[in-house]
Structure 1
Amino acid sequence: MSSERRTAIVAGVLFLVTEIAAIAGLALYRPVLGGAVGVLAPGADSRAFLGALCEVVLAAAVAGTGVALYPVVKRQGEGIALGYVCGRLLEAAVIAVGILSVLSVVTLRQDLAGAAGVDAASFAAADRSLVALHDWTFLLGPNIALGLNTVLLAYLMYRSRLVPRFIAVLGLVGGPLICASAVAVMFGLYRQVSVPGSAAALPVFAWEVSLAVWLLAKGFKRAPAGSGAVAPAGGHPSLAGA
């Protein structure tokens, strides 16, 4: 197995992990983030801890995709490839801040709810602030940062034809769309977790899933430009002029 084929498999697995972990984390967080201020529903703390673990996996997989793909895509444009790696690391860092905010909400509600002498107004303000912090990280990380990173990688894939161009086009369309949706959410046009918000995220979801499936099944469509070789699906290069 060539190094490019191994890279394709690792990147494909990591992209699938990001989708699964993101959906699982969001679903598990709902009892805490969507509950009443200061109220921790039975079992919500355990679900929040599981959700935090899912998002730790998500952050690691997000950073991993950038690191795994860099050796291949840097041959198509080193500056853009480096920007993609840095963008993915930034996205992972924002997700980590969101994890800490959710865990802080759980701790606050466990330790201070119903305690004697607690200022109810201050408690509620702290609770709402932590929930708002998570909401902003959810908007800036898995939306704006994700959209910008998607455009960078999709552009490299489109130009190099490492994957079929219809897959790259999904990223080139989905990246700006999810960024525009994030701006709409920021200005209060609709909620992030809503029908319009979900619809705007579909092209990016399709891009990442189709990219992952292609990388796992076929690998890179051809060797990076300038290598003097063309690699078939099996990953064994042949001379370009042969």
Structure 2
Amino acid sequence: MVPSSYSPLHRMVTSQLETGHTMINARRIARRIGTLMLAAFLFYGIGSSLATTASAGALLTTGVAMMLLNSVAVVAIGALMLPILRLHAPAVAVGYLATRIFEGGFLAVGAIALLVGVSGANFLAYNIAMAGLGIGSLFFCVALYRSRLVPRFLAVWGFVGYASFAAGCFLELAGVAGAGLVSTVPGGLFEIFFAIWLIARGLGSTAAITVTARA
């Protein structure tokens, strides 16, 4: 008699349970990424407003601390995306993590510069960080488009937004005042919408396949 643990019915049920668990894991990861993207947006937006307007004291320290939390969040985004994206585009997955580390590192340098009263260094660090994010995220959006992890219109929107972001930051570094601020609009709106999409809808079914392969 064949043990029940090896019966076709048992294998089918086990496979379905494992698939369901994998999809739940992929959905959980997507929600975490989306939540971190929104948190990073708030951390840096509120933190930089406090740090750049406060002369000294608790407000300045609070602002800088929030900016540093943003750096932690953006690196975590790259780390969480790594296992999902790796099987679709291994080099892009590693490159995206490196991009987020680059971004987080320079933004942290800028935050510390504000703490010690060197606002010009923060301006430089911010634009270098955002230019790097814009360039690195172009490959990320191409990978999203090809893998169909998200609807293709969203990947195209991201590509255009990040390209605009990078161009504006380079112009800002070249002395075109205000170019960086204007160029953040399409990219910033994409990141907010993308974050909400990940929280509400998650990633495509291929994300579950990726997590299965990594298990």
| TMscore range, shorter length | 0.7 to 0.9
Matched, 1:198 2:181: yes
Q: Which residue matches 1:103?
A: 115
Count of equivalent residues: 189
In structure 2, the partner of 1:140 is 128
Partner of 2:199: 216
Give the fraction of aligned pairs with identical amino acids, expressed as a percent: 26
Q: Is the 8 A contact 2:52 2:114 kept in 1?
A: no
Q: In structure 2, what is the Cα distance between the partners aligned to 1:93 and 1:189?
A: 24
Q: 2:70 aligns with which of 39, 58, 66?
A: 58
TM-score (norm 2): 0.82
Query: Which aligned pairs between 1:5-44 and structure 2 lie closer than 5 A?
Result: 5-32=27-54, 40=55, 44=56
Moved more, 81-90 or 181-190: 181-190
1:106-121 counterparts in 2 under 5 A?
none
How far does residue 77 in structure 1 lie from its aligned partner after superposition? 0.6
> What is the letter of the counterpart of residue 86 of structure 1?
A
Q: Deviations over 1:8-44 (max 9, x none)?
A: 1111111111111121122112225xxxxxxx4xxx4
Runs (4+) of structure 1 exceeding 6 A deviation are: none
Q: Is the 8 A contact 2:141 2:155 kept in 1?
A: yes
- Find the residue that maps to 2:57 and give its secondary structure: helix
2: CA distance between counterparts of 1:174 and 1:58? 20
Gaps of 5+ in 1: 33-39, 106-129, 230-242
Structure with more of its chain in helix, by fraction: 2
- 2:166 pairs with 179, 186, 198, which one? 179
Instruction: Note the C-alpha offset of 1:134.
Output: 1.2
Q: Give unmatched runs, 5+ long, in structure 2.
A: 1-20
Shift of 1:198: 2.5
Contact kept in structure 1, 2:147 and 2:206, CA below 8 Å: no
Measure how far apart 1:71 and its partner are.
Answer: 0.5
Are residue 189 (structure 1) and residue 193 (structure 2) matched? no
Aligned-partner residue type, residue 19 of structure 1? F
Mapped contact 2:26–2:208 kept (Cα < 8 A)? no
- Provide the secondary structure at the position in 2 that maps to 1:223: helix
Residues 211-231 of structure 1 show CA distances to partners (whole Å, capped at 9, x for unaligned) of 11111111112224976x9xx
Per the normalisation by structure 1, the TM-score is: 0.73
